[in-house]
Structure 1
Amino acid sequence: MKIALLTYSTKPRGGVVHTLALAEALARAGEDVTVWSLGRGGDAAFFRPVDPAVTVRLVPFPDVPGEGVGDRILRSIAVLGDAFARRAERYDVVHAQDCISANAVPDCVRTVHHLDTFTTPALAACHDRAVARPRALVCVSAAVAAEVERGWGRTPVVIPNGVDAARFAAAAGADGAAGRARWRERLGRYVLAVGGIEPRKGTLDLVEAMALLRRERPDLALVIAGGETLFDHRDYRAHVEERAAALGVVPVVLGPVPHADLPALVAAAEVLAFPSTKEGFGLAAMEALAAGVPLVTRDLPVLREVFGGAAAFAADPPGLAAKLLAAAGNVDPVRRAAGRALAARHTWDAAAAAHLRFYAGGAALSRTTSRVGIVSISDAVLPPS
């Protein structure tokens, strides 16, 4: 089967990580897979090496000085769509992994990782089209699938993410000791957040929580990794910085962390804070569980669904502070074992097998007017526990 997976960037955002890992797993299953993306700002490769069994097609996308977010997104759609329309290859399945690529190639299957809210009419219309027009939809959690059904009357197939559990588990073991030591020498003891500073990641609430936490644990730093995004969050970041300064919290903002260094950074953390206000699955949180790191998340239905008893949940900054304080340096062996087992069950090979069953069902291959039935998580991807 010839399969095209389309994403919007080469940077290490969750949807891009998903696209590459799924592509490689599909290739291991014997499929002919091509990943298409925009090479933003002169990028000639993805943020990490890609298995040579996967073909990569990067479409040049130079920066335009002064271009606004809306115009950049609309240009992204046009450039990717034009390049894909002129392709020489023919594919059995075209699978878009985000709003941009689903608009660029509307006659596709689309994975809805999470739903966004846009205030401009043009971007709101793009978001709507990217859910309404694809042949069939996949979601990485039942909670997001339910949102799609409520909003658009479509019932996606649910296929959860995989996770490279072995890579993060190794960083927490004896062979990863040197890597963990380097991060601790640089950062001391720290609470880690992954995803950058943006409203959806709940950074402001985390700063408020850290101010409360540090009354008991002044030795704990807040470290924020990641954050490459298309959107302009400068005003929000400025607000977070002002509030942090007022509270005496000094976040260590690392920005994007090299792929090879990320597992050790995660494994060396006292606790991973995941206070997102909106998520589709929580891949960074699952990676922390694979490393045996305690996890504290916002109390959202989707995160309850995905993490269950492997995480601690909180609804507001005081709750986050209390749960982070309880978890930092105080690993619960039962919860740690549950988290590692949960991460180990979410393999990319199982996710690829579920995608192939979905493709073989026909909805991905030809347009239909019927809904695509929801597949339970256990039946779709997870092996028996």
Structure 2
Amino acid sequence: MTALRIAILTHSINPRGGVAHCLALAEALCALGHEAVVHAPDPAGRGFFRSAACPTVSVAAQSVGGTTVDLVRARITDYLRHFSTPAACDFDVFHAHDGIGGNALATLKHRRLIPGFVRTVHHVDSFSDPLLAEWQDRSIREAARLLCVSRTWADWIRDDLGAGADVVGNGVDLSVYRTEPTEADAAARERWGVGAGPVILSVGGFEERKNTLGIVEAFARLRARYPQAQLVVAGGASLLDHTAYRTRCRAALASAGLTVGRGSAVIETGPVPQADMPALYRIADVLAFPSWKEGFGLCVLEAMACGTPAIVSRQPPFTEYLAATDALFVDPADPCAIADAMAAALVSQARDRLRAAGLARASANSWRACAERHLDAYAACARTRQELIHA
């Protein structure tokens, strides 16, 4: 295939799963000989949460107060301003990974600045605000080609929108996420006051979609068996407002007598640089990830690559790419079952079995294979662009 210039658009520079996916995908595409450039609105001009072996562009963005609608509208406008000229649109392929980039590209298509775009649907949110729902829907319906990271969402697009979507999956970088301890492990323990454990890790902050309240309720039960147990809640950077849900989680923690802070029963790290995540996975005894809704659940593969057992929901997408023996599957609505799984993961025989199965599963998912699954869609979009140029 002829080398392509690919503009990849994501919603922010922060360490969220979709953003991590974009950077890793672009790096793999560049390794295949293409030029993949990741773009994101960057109001503070800080750059992406990690350095990348691919070109990146921090799109000039305005600082915004107000509602989520105000923020999303502003970010769409930021993208439209950045790609306002034919010179700025000199790419063979445009690829959006969320509703913000998808709406900007749909408008650029109507302005005849680009011929069309690819859209990856990681998952579909249920927005109560009709404008947010309309923007999400438009970003999917107007794409020339649709991709999904799991069969679950490809089937949803087929059933609800009557459109086809290819499944491209996800990957994990085994050169970054490794089982061997490093000096960073001890530094992570010191930084956040993590003791001997057992240590339960939750990734994604206090967010309803991540089922943090269920994890909190399960952890409170685990503490009755293991009084020194700690729950580490990592991440939390989001464009959406999770204040009300966070308040519910905090109330549940207070009701259970669980304090939050460095060295406490519950440790809230906030956003964590990627360089620190492997250590965080390694010092954890188990990853608790019984989410209600996921596109894929990239942190599951990352934890497994670090030798950390995972607890996941007994539902797609986890049941798509994980075998029954790869992880501990639970009903996300049952805190008692989640607590039992936490305890089960601490038993040495189960830990050894889960560790071996997880390492094998992680090694079977490469970013190179993920990148290669994008190439047909990219080639089709590039052909459309060439046909329009020579028409």
TM-score by length of 1: 0.89
Q: Does 1:48 align with 2:40?
A: no
Letter in 2 for 1:366: T
Please give the root-mean-square deviation of Cα atoms over the aligned residues, in Å. 1.6
Alpha-carbon distance in 2 for matches of 1:332, 1:324: 11
- Residue matched to 2:70: 71
Q: How far off its partner does 1:36 sit?
A: 1.6
- Residue matched to 1:14: 17
Alpha-carbon distance in 1 for matches of 2:347, 2:92: 50
Q: How far off its partner does 1:364 sit?
A: 6.2
Alpha-carbon distance in 2 for matches of 1:296, 1:132: 34
CA displacement 1:151-199 (0-9 Å, x = unmatched)? 1111200010111123111xx21xx243223334521121001111111
CA displacement 1:249-279 (0-9 Å, x = unmatched)? 3321000112211110111101000021100
- Residue matched to 1:371: none
- Residue matched to 1:333: 352
Provide structure 2 residue ranges, at least 5 long, that are not aligned to the other structure: 107-115, 260-265, 386-391
Q: How far off its partner does 1:57 sit?
A: 2.0
Q: Structure 2 residue aligned with 1:311, among 316, 320, 327?
A: 327
CA displacement 1:97-150 (0-9 Å, x = unmatched)? 111100110231000011101001110100111111100100001111111111
Alpha-carbon distance in 1 for matches of 2:51, 2:82: 23
> After superposition, where does 1:167-182 map in structure 2 within 5 Å?
167-169=176-178, 172-173=179-180, 176-182=181-187
CA 1:296/1:68 → structure 2, altered by over 3 Å: closer, same or farther?
A: same
Q: Structure 1 residue aligned with 2:362, among 343, 351, 372?
A: 343
Q: Structure 2 residue aligned with 1:296, among 304, 307, 311?
A: 311
Number of equivalent positions:
358
Contact 1:93 1:365 (C-alpha < 8 Å) held by counterparts: no
- Residue matched to 2:374: 355
Alpha-carbon distance in 2 for matches of 1:257, 1:70: 26
Percent identity, aligned pairs only, is 41
- Residue matched to 1:97: 97
- Residue matched to 1:128: 137
CA 1:364/1:245 → structure 2, altered by over 3 Å: closer, same or farther?
A: farther
> After superposition, where does 1:73-222 map in structure 2 within 5 Å?
73-86=72-85, 88-89=87-88, 90-106=90-106, 107-169=116-178, 172-173=179-180, 176-185=181-190, 186-188=193-195, 189=197, 190-222=199-231
> After superposition, where does 1:207-246 map in structure 2 within 5 Å?
207-246=216-255
Q: Does 1:34 align with 2:34?
A: no
Alpha-carbon distance in 1 for matches of 2:283, 2:383: 45
Alpha-carbon distance in 2 for matches of 1:56, 1:34: 5
CA 1:312/1:85 → structure 2, altered by over 3 Å: closer, same or farther?
A: same
Letter in 1 for 2:7: A
CA 1:320/1:49 → structure 2, altered by over 3 Å: closer, same or farther?
A: same
Letter in 2 for 1:317: P
Q: How far off its partner does 1:78 sit?
A: 1.6
Q: Does 1:266 align with 2:271?
A: no
Alpha-carbon distance in 2 for matches of 1:194, 1:329: 22
CA displacement 1:321-361 (0-9 Å, x = unmatched)? 0011110253433332221111111111111122123323x
- Residue matched to 2:294: 279
Q: How far off its partner does 1:85 sit?
A: 2.9
Alpha-carbon distance in 2 for matches of 1:289, 1:55: 29
Alpha-carbon distance in 2 for matches of 1:62, 1:77: 11
Contact 1:192 1:269 (C-alpha < 8 Å) held by counterparts: yes
Provide structure 1 residue ranges, at least 5 long, that are not aligned to the other structure: 368-385
- Residue matched to 1:57: 57
